[in-house]
Amino acid sequence: MTSTLRALGIARVLLRHRLGDFLEDTAFGRWLWLLRPLTPAKDAADLPRGQRLRLALQELGPIFVKIGQVLSTRRDLLPPDIAEELALLQDRVAPFPGDAALALVEAALGRPVTAVFSGFDLEPLASASIAQVHAARLHNGREVVVKVLRPDIRKRIAADIELLRTLASLADRHHPNAEKIRAQEVVSEIEATLHAELDLQREGANASLMRRTWLGSDDLYVPEVFWDYSTETVLTMERVRGIPSDDIAALDAAGIDRKALAAKGVRVFYAQVFRDNFFHADAHAGNIWVDATRKENPRFIAIDFGIVGQLDRRDQYYLAENFMAIFQRDYRRIAELHVEAGWMPAHIRIDELEAATRAVCEPYFTRPLSEISLGEVLVKLFKTAQRYELTLQPQLILLQKTLLNIEGVGRLLDPKLDIWAEARPVLEKILRERYSPQTLGAEFRKRLPELITHAPDMPRLLHDFLAQQVRGQHSIHMRSEDLAELARISKAGQRQTVYAILGTGLMIVAAVLFALESGGPRFYGIPAVAGIAGLGAFGAFLAAWPRR
């Protein structure tokens, strides 16, 4: 009942913003006419649909704001106008009372707040969908910020995720484009992202690792984590001050060299992805500040480490090679890399994929290099490849979104920024160092103890293998996604057949009971027993309805 009421509330908000089209192809679509007379449209209903959706999510509350932010990263699923509007969602939500935050801090740390801090500001510095931040001061005089999870946020997220699962199930069953939307996968991605952000100790660990990697750098500063005053629900970090990277007027007033700063931003991103394999994946202007004390040699300050990205070594290698092939306009190599990486099935014709890649990339190279967006090229490449059965990993989608954010910040700081010229030498240097003989030798030396440990077992394993071959006992284990899909379809068909038979039987029972005018209570002239059988038949037929 709670989920039903919440779903009705969501439907009313969407209708108020004239977003009923999003529900037309769902199971609720046929019932929307019942809610429309009770739901007057808002004054802003004539705005573009992306803007109306953003306003609706803000009205639905902090959890839906966060869901909108996560969805904004799925540019492979959303139309461009909606993705761009959702990317504008910021964590500017109504704060919860400072007294409640103070009580949560004391409960998490297990001691009075005065025992930890010499001062704690009840007025929050910032309020987000998951947590809010308060300024404080340690007894040694260090200024810090304390991030506190919202009260009962876990229960609210669990309830909304359960509702989203239900809606996704309905979409899978009834939406005509269910296979392209992949609603359950989207909900799983939202759930994983939200649960990662609910663990502030994990965010602290992300910040600590990034700080250690960039400690002493002239390019990026990461604030210190105070672990003695941090838990899963409270995170205490060094307080930093800077200028938001999109505040051009303040940067100019501070005398910051914006061109040098923009070039550094590109280099830092490529170093994080391909050198460190650990990148800040929520790098919008609100989370990336500029150190105002360094004018000639400016550096960035990173905050909010709830979302970070990593790639496995295989994806990292193939992505780097893809970038280099794009730089060299080697379309054949791009097509081959997509197949070699396993992102696409081996039966795809390389020449067709090469032609499609050329059609995407070639128009960009007619522009000046300073006007080319590498992130935009990558997004279009992946979208084109989807027509050729591309299997895209969530980490690569997160990388796309981060690359677009970084390029947006860079072009805002310096409209003439040549991203290609800045990225290519950094990437070439990293690849030279990563796959140099010295690096490979060091990797071999690191694994040498493991090889030595297993070496005595090799003769026995080889003997057992040869003996199996001689006796004809060697077995081959095969895994096939096609066979698994056939098994799934077969099980689904059997289940649908059972429900269809059950529904038919209950329908016959209902008809017989109604015709024989069975006794007992009646409802609108229909025997209650016959009505129950009829409802059971209706439910069974719904369960038997095939998924699209």
**pLDDT for 249:** 92
Quickly state the pLDDT bin for 542 (edges 50, 70, 90): confident
Q: What is the dihedral of CA 21, 24, 30, 36, to 10 degrees?
A: -10
Average pLDDT over residues 301-311: 88
Contact present, 19 and 53 (Cβ < 8 Å): yes
Q: Give kind and range of the element (H or E) at residue 149.
A: strand 143-149
Dihedrals phi, psi of 545, to nearest 5 degrees: -65, 125
What is the Cα 504 distance to its own chain's centre? Answer: 44
Condensed to tens digits (0 to 9), the pLDDT of residues 390-436 reads: 655 566 767 777 887 788 888 888 888 887 788 888 888 877 777 67
**pLDDT for 2:** 60
Quickly state the pLDDT bin for 142 (edges 50, 70, 90): very high
State the Cα angle at 400 between 383 and 348, rounded to 5°. 35
Condensed to tens digits (0 to 9), the pLDDT of residues 200-258 reads: 999 999 999 999 999 999 999 999 999 999 999 999 999 999 999 888 999 999 999 89
Question: Which of 129-138, 349-358, 384-393 reaches the highest mean pLDDT?
Answer: 129-138
Report the distance separating Cα 345 and Cα 342, nearest Å. 7
The half-sphere exposure of 241 on its side-chain side, counting CA atoms within 13 A, is 4
State the Cα angle at 264 between 338 and 361, rounded to 5°. 30
Report the distance separating Cα 208 and Cα 305, nearest Å. 10
**pLDDT for 23:** 57
**How buried is 487 (Cβ within 10 angstroms: 0-12 exposed, 13-18 middle, 19+ buried)?**
exposed
**pLDDT for 470:** 73
Report the share of the chain in percent with pLDDT over 70: 79
Contact present, 503 and 541 (Cβ < 8 Å): yes
Strand 279-280 and strand 522-523: pairing?
A: unpaired
Q: What is the gyration radius of the CA atoms in the chain, in angstroms?
A: 29
Which residues are designated catalytic?
282
| Residue predicted with more confidence, 227 or 438 | 227
